[in-house]
Amino acid sequence: MFTTGRIIFALVFAIAFLGYLIWAYRKDAMLSKKYYKGTFIILLILIAIWLLFFGFVRLT
């Protein structure tokens, strides 16, 4: 089912893909901190609105 060549290819592909993901994340992390400063607060507000809506729907 799995030949030696397929296993080697899968391992090389997985290592290369994970390496690229780590490189891209580190490169993008600095820009994310710069451009997305207040997103945590917005996320908390959206969760609070959703919880309020859920509470009002359950009460009626």
The per-residue pLDDT for 53 is 95
Summarize pLDDT for 10-21 with one digit per residue, the tens: 999 999 999 999
pLDDT tens per residue, range 15-52: 999 999 999 998 888 888 777 888 889 999 999 999 99
Count of CB atoms situated within 10 Å of the CB of 60: 4
pLDDT of residue 31: 80
DSSP H helices, the chain, are: 4-35, 39-59
Q: Is the pTM above the cut of 0.95?
A: no
Q: Which tokens belong to 58?
A: 């359950």
What amino acid is encoded at 2 in this protein?
Answer: F
The phi, psi pair for 3, rounded to 5°, reads -85, 170
At position 60, the amino acid (one-letter code) is T
